[in-house]
Chains A and B, each alone.
Chain A
Amino acid sequence: MPDCTDPASLEGLAWLACYLTTGKHMAFYGAFGTVLLLLAVTAPAALAFGFGGASLARSRIAPLAWIGKGYIAIVRGVPDIAFFLFFVIALDQAFEWARHQIRCGHWDQPIWQGNDFVVCPQAKLPLSTADQWIHEVYGFALAVLTFAIVFGAFAANVLYGAMRAVPRAQIETGHAYGMTEAQVFRRIVVPQMWVYALPGLSNLWMVLIKATPLLFLLGVEDIVYWARELGGTKTPQFTSYPHGDWRMWYFLGLLVFYLAFTRVSEVVLARVTARLTRGQATLAGEAQRKRAAA
């Protein structure tokens, strides 16, 4: 490990080693963790939203079905990036408005003042006295919720199709055994739909991975933020590691990171698919059986 106290005297690899281990670079590497954390939290959340949306969409009660189908259709008809920009402000305002209603009974001024959105200080989210980390966590939570809403619609679309792909006879058999609608849904539809949903969900996972850089637009200090920050031209006045415009190389690094990540996901998902197809009465399952027999 080279001595990094005097970077100006360093050359070549030693300089690079010191440069790549500065505090800011450590924050940059930490941001990769943020991306993984986002994926880990968002995937189940989106699945839950998707499950709710799909269940609503196939409801017998017309208004509920309209809500479910509308949710799927609108989020899918509009660019996802527009939703990201929209929901971050909209959710923030919705939360503050709700807190305002509860906490600020004495407040007599309108919330919408011309081009401003004003709530009483107690309703601010997070409170202006809160620590920096609370602000960051709140920003991240908003981002997760936004991702969950948008990708929940995609997941709802996949699950809705999967629920309808469960063979009709299975459901009718359930009814013949005297199960209620809810029981049929819980015991027959849900356990069987995953095989049909898997191709769509795998695809969705890939799309979700590739959507993570949009965190940058939601104001989270993610890898895109750091790549722009660290890659920009640095002059000797401000840093002991001056360099030219390296943003291109930083983004090349991100590109490689994402390529590797999607590649690994592809391999893992292929294995999961193979595992789940085992013993299924589908074309792929049949092919697997024949290969094993041969």
Chain B
Amino acid sequence: MSCWETVADYAFRSLGYGERLLPRSEFTLCQQVTLIGSGMIWNVYFGTLALVTGFFLATAVALGKASAHPLIRKPSEWFIFLFRGSPLFIQFFFAYFAFLSLKSAYPFFDPFTSAWLGATIVLFFNTAAYSGEIFYGALQSVPKGDLEAADAYGFSGVTKFRKITWPTMLRLAWPAYTNEAIFLFHATALVFFTGFPARQQKGDALYYASYFADKTFNPFVPYPILAAYFILLTLVIISLFGLVNRRLNRHLPQDGRARLRLRPTLAR
């Protein structure tokens, strides 16, 4: 079987298209690269969806935490503490079993026990909490002079926020937010190891990598392939976020521009 046939059979295996059975013998390099790459579709799906939706909740939570009103501030603080103070691994387990219990009472929750929805919701809340904290920190560092200038120009309310506060907050938060995005994508590898079932062996990249490692008892091929895919994904994220960073900083003097640091600081 040539490599092209393997690609045709397994390129979309993670979504349920192509060959039904996973490879049972031989385990060629081509099969491993194709199938693990196929699994990356799920990692990209989880990461992108959670990041895009989480962005809006994060902005709301950051504003909530900065609010003077305790009825808005307290829930935001608790939300951030809840999701940043506990392991994502446990959050996945808890959410999965909670959805399972809800499902037995209300059939409406049936799709929530599948990874595509349930895990995305957990990741959405998780990244919203982490990014919310980053945005909150940035919001606190918006220069006072900028806001005074905005007042002087007659900006107020929503316009002031949309034109002045929010872009400055994003600009200051962007390097840290890039880190958060990278680690969010890394965190997507946890999904299928935390109760969420990979029905019909439709799993993510790590699921297939560990499948091959278990079958061949040789971890030295599938995991480096996985690592290469993730490093590639990380580089893509860095360059995309770098583009946004350039746009956010385009009004600053050339040499004063904050360069996006390529050394990500820490994981979750």
Residues of A in contact with B (beta carbons under 8 Å apart) = 74, 76-82, 85-86, 89-90, 93, 112, 115-117, 154, 157, 200, 203-204, 207, 209-214, 216-217, 224, 227-228, 231, 245, 247-248, 251-252, 254-255, 258-259, 262-263
The reply to whether B94 and A258 form a contact with Cβ atoms under 8 Å apart is: no
Having A79-B206, A89-B217, A157-B263, one finds 7 other A-B pairs with CB under 8 Å, namely A79-B186, A81-B189, A82-B223, A82-B227, A90-B220, A204-B266, A251-B90
Given contacts A207-B268, A258-B90, whether A85 and B206 have CB atoms under 8 Å apart is yes
Q: Main secondary structure on chain B at its contact with chain A?
A: helix
The count of residues in chain B whose C-beta lies closer than 8 Å to any C-beta of chain A is 44
Partner of B216, one of A82, A90, A115, A262: A115
Residues of A near B230 (CB, < 8 A) are 77-79, 82
Between A76, A154, A157, A252, the greatest number of chain B beta carbons within 10 A of the residue's beta carbon is seen for A76
Distance A263 CA – B206 CA, assembled complex (angstroms): 32
* Contact A85-B186, Cβ < 8 Å, known A74-B227, A90-B219, A255-B91: no
Contact among B213, B216, B217, B268 for A210, CB-based, below 8 A: B268
Whether the pair B97, A78 counts as a contact (CB closer than 8 A) is no
- CB-CB nearest in chain A for B188: A79
Task: Mark B207-243 against chain A: 1 for CB-CB distance below 8 A, else 0.
Answer: 0011001011111100100110011001000000000
A93 to B190, CA, bound (A): 24
Please, how many angstroms separate the alpha-carbon atoms of A132 and B3 in the complex? 45
**A213-B90 CB under 8 A given contacts A245-B100, A263-B85:** yes
Which residues does chain B contribute within 8 Å of A214, judged by CB atoms? 89
**Known contacts A85-B223, A248-B100; A212 and B210 CB within 8 A of each other:** no
Q: Which residues of B contact A254 (CB under 8 A)?
A: 90, 93-94
* Interface pair A200/B265, CB less than 8 Å apart: yes
A224 touches B90 (CB 8 A): yes
Does the CB pair A115–B226 fall under 8 Å?
no
> Counting chain B CB atoms within 10 Å of each CB, which of A79, A116, A209, A248 scores highest?
A79
A259 to B85: give the CA distance in the assembly, Å: 5
B190 and A154 within 8 A (CB): no
Q: Which residues of A contact B18 (CB under 8 A)?
A: none
- Whether the Cβ atoms of B100 and A86 lie closer than 8 Å is no
Please indicate the chain B residues that have their CB under 8 angstroms from the CB of A154 in the complex.
266-267
A and B contact pairs by CB, cutoff 8 A, 10 listed: A74-B227, A85-B210, A115-B217, A115-B218, A157-B265, A200-B266, A214-B89, A224-B90, A248-B100, A262-B86
Contact with A along B87-114 (1 / 0, CB 8 A): 1111101100110110010000000000
**Interface membership of chain B positions 51-81, coded 1 if the CB is closer than 8 angstroms to chain A and 0 otherwise:** 0000000000000000000000000000001
> Are A210's CB and B266's CB within 8 A?
no
* Bound CA–CA A78/B182 (angstroms): 10
Query: Interface residues, chain B, CB within 8 Å of chain A?
Result: 27, 81-82, 85-91, 93-94, 97-98, 100-101, 104, 186-187, 189-190, 193, 206, 209-210, 213, 215-220, 223, 226-227, 230-231, 234, 263-268
Q: With both chains docked as a complex, state the minimum distance between the C-beta of B114 and any C-beta of chain A, in angstroms.
A: 17
Q: Given A210-B88, A255-B86 in contact, is the A89-B219 Cβ separation under 8 Å?
A: yes
Q: Which of A85, A216, A263 has the most CB of B within 10 A?
A: A85
A77 and B89 contact, CB distance less than 8 A = no
Q: Across the interface, which residues of B come within 8 angstroms of A115, CB to CB? A: 27, 215-218
Across-interface contacts of B210 in A (CB, < 8 A): 85
Expressed in whole angstroms, the Cα–Cα distance for A117 and B213 within the complex equals 12
Task: Using CB atoms, name the residue of chain A closest to B82.
Answer: A259
Q: What is the CA–CA distance of A194 and B256 in the complex, to the nearest angstrom?
A: 30
Q: Judge whether B100 and A210 touch: CB under 8 Å.
A: no
CB distance from B236 to the nearest CB of A (A): 12
**Smallest Cβ distance from B199 to chain A, in angstroms?**
19
For the complex formed, measure the closest distance between the CB of B85 and the CB atoms of chain A, giving whole angstroms.
4
Give the distance to chain B from A58, nearest Cβ to Cβ, in Å.
Answer: 14
A82's partner among B27, B94, B206, B268 (CB-CB below 8 A) is B206
Whether the Cβ atoms of B206 and A224 lie closer than 8 Å is no
Determine the distance from Cα of A79 to Cα of B86 in the docked complex, in whole angstroms.
18
Give every chain B residue within 8 A of A255 (Cβ-Cβ).
Answer: 86, 90-91, 94
